[in-house]
Amino acid sequence: MGGKVYLIGAGPGDPELITVKALKAIQRADVILYDRLVNQDLLKEARADTNLIYCGKLPKVHHMKQETINHLLVKYGKKDRNVVRLKGGDPFVFGRGAEEAIALAKNGVEYEVIPGITSGIAVPAYADIPITHRELGRSFAVVTGHCKNGKPAEIQWEYLAKSVDTLAIYMGMSNLSYITEKLLDSGKSAQTPIAIIQEGTTANQKVVKGTLQSIVNIVEQHNMRNPAMIVVGDVVKVSNTLQYLKERYQEQSREIPALEAY
């Protein structure tokens, strides 16, 4: 009969953001192949006898090649095993999940995709940045900031700059200078707001904001690094408003005298 492979999205970092269906699959898995950005707390949900296989990738450094991962999924999937392929975010959003699904389908291995919360929506939300807004952002696009050959030269930045209100850019930190230059060259205003959110949804979340003109220097000053989400567009302004209102409320609350005990 063979087993079944579950291509699972673990979400953007906070382990509590995983879906119930994904968690159940982890708990009954015989084999789990997991990526670098998967929160390790999720692996504690696996059985003690589950075979855990690390498939992590660093920028420009692959612990395990994609072809090897595909081979292992097929190998274990053909056995009478429940196999989990655990990925950060969503498996079909810049997660190579489609490549793995094709490899499984070609070899007659049953599989199921269990979606996960993608970073392009969740990470900005944790930073008080709505990916859409009725006045500031009526459209958004998720974009890769790192293509197969390095710089995302294949991306049609001119069309994105002119037709989309908000850009959520994945894996773009190493090419941030290139990306901002392309957007500016494509007609985007130098004063367009931009936010960089490092390790979003986790306890280590760090946020810096600026404009297309200033953000590269700001990132260098604050030593921002991967993993990070880049958000470009006027919706970034909402976080400034929310931050101001929160601070104002806290100050007003401190000024209210405590009620005397009766």
Q: Is 258 helix (H, G, I), strand (E, B) or coil?
A: coil
Active-site entry in 14, 78, 90, 171: 171
Give how far Cα 83 sits from Cα of 12, 42, 261, Å: 21, 15, 61
Strand partners, 9: 87
Active-site entry in 14, 35, 87, 188: 35
**Can 21 be counted among the known catalytic residues?**
no
Strand partners, 144: 170
The answer for residues whose C-beta is within 8 angstroms of residue 246's C-beta and 6 or more apart is none
Nearest to 127 by CA among 190, 186, 208, 59: 208
**Can 171 be counted among the known catalytic residues?**
yes
Active-site entry in 4, 57, 75, 237: 57
Radius of gyration of the chain (CA): 21
Is 114:6 a contact under the CB 8 Å cutoff? yes
* 70: enclosing H helix or E strand: helix 66-77
**Can 229 be counted among the known catalytic residues?**
no
CA 262, distance to chain mean position in Å, is 53
Angle between helix axes 66-77 and 97-106 (nearest 10 degrees) is: 50
Q: Give the DSSP letter string of 163-207.
A: H-SEEEEES-GGGHHHHHHHHHHTT--TT-EEEEEETTTSTT-EE
Active site residues: 35, 57, 171
